[in-house]
Chains A and B, each alone.
Chain A
Amino acid sequence: MDHLENSNEESENQAQTLGQPLSDFLLQLEDYTPTIPDAVTAYFLQTSGFEPKDPRLLRLISIAAQKFISDIANDALQHCKMRSSNASSSHSSSKGKGTKDRRYCLTMEDLTPALAEFGITIKKPHYYV
């Protein structure tokens, strides 16, 4: 019986968490400026025929796009950090270089495995000048 009640409560909570954010979250977007400018998002949405009058809908899409890129870039950065720490530990472990002044440069070598985790296969052809 307890178990049943618990599951009922859980499903109620879940219904709240799934339905609630939509309305609440939109209100929060009123005074939030995403990194991708509204005009840019609006332009690309218009190219596919989507023209929302409410700017909050634009912002919702901007934030989703920003999160999409941010997640991928963060993953790629972790790959980059792991690669550089492996390289430095195998090459110059005796020198004991400070890790604070390390500069991270994102390359396709980092991006490819990060994208693979998201199910995106990327193959850039070599470019010869």
Chain B
Amino acid sequence: MEQQVNPYRKMLTAAISAILLELGVDSADRDVLGSLTEMLQCFLSEIGSMSHNYCELSGRSEPVIADIILGFVEMGIDFSGLQQFVKNGKSVVLPSLQPQQ
């Protein structure tokens, strides 16, 4: 029986593949893609959980950017280069999903 894969994880893998292609990588091992997908999913979950905690700690239910910034700081991510990253990189946009026939 074929193992069910979360479609959101598939999209993460597709996004990682797009990023790799943009960097100039021609191909990647399955292990590499799997590890990067796992890391990306962990990154998103972790930043979500930390920002959520900071948000609730300050007595709000609606998150603001400060909560996310505090989450970045706690995770040790340097967000000062983000603006430059947006300016420099021409990010690939994934094609819209086609319904399967």
Contacts and interface: CB of A to CB of B under 8 A. Distances in A.
Interface of A: 17-18, 21-22, 25-26, 28-29, 32-37, 40-41, 43-53, 57, 60-61, 63-70, 72-74, 76-77, 80, 103-108, 110-111, 120, 122, 124
Contact of B44 (A25, A61, A70): A61
B80 interface: yes
Interface of B: 8, 11-12, 15-16, 18-20, 22-29, 31-32, 35-36, 39-41, 43-49, 51-52, 55, 62-65, 68-69, 72, 77, 79-83, 85-86, 89, 91-94
Contacts of B35: 108, 111, 122, 124
B80 A108 contact: no
Contacts of B64: 57
10 contacts: A17-B80, A28-B86, A40-B15, A49-B48, A49-B49, A57-B64, A61-B68, A66-B15, A70-B89, A105-B27
A66 to B, nearest CB: 6
A50 B94 contact: no
A91 to B, nearest CB: 20
A48 B15 contact: no
B51 to A, nearest CB: 5
Nearest to A119: B76
Given A51-B63, A66-B15, 7 more contacts: A35-B93, A40-B11, A63-B82, A65-B43, A73-B36, A106-B29, A107-B31
Contacts of B62: 52-53
A74 B23 contact: yes
A26 B65 contact: yes
B49 A50 contact: yes
A60 B32 CA distance: 25
B79 A69 contact: no
A38 to B, nearest CB: 11
B32 A44 contact: no
B19 A50 contact: no
Nearest to A52: B63
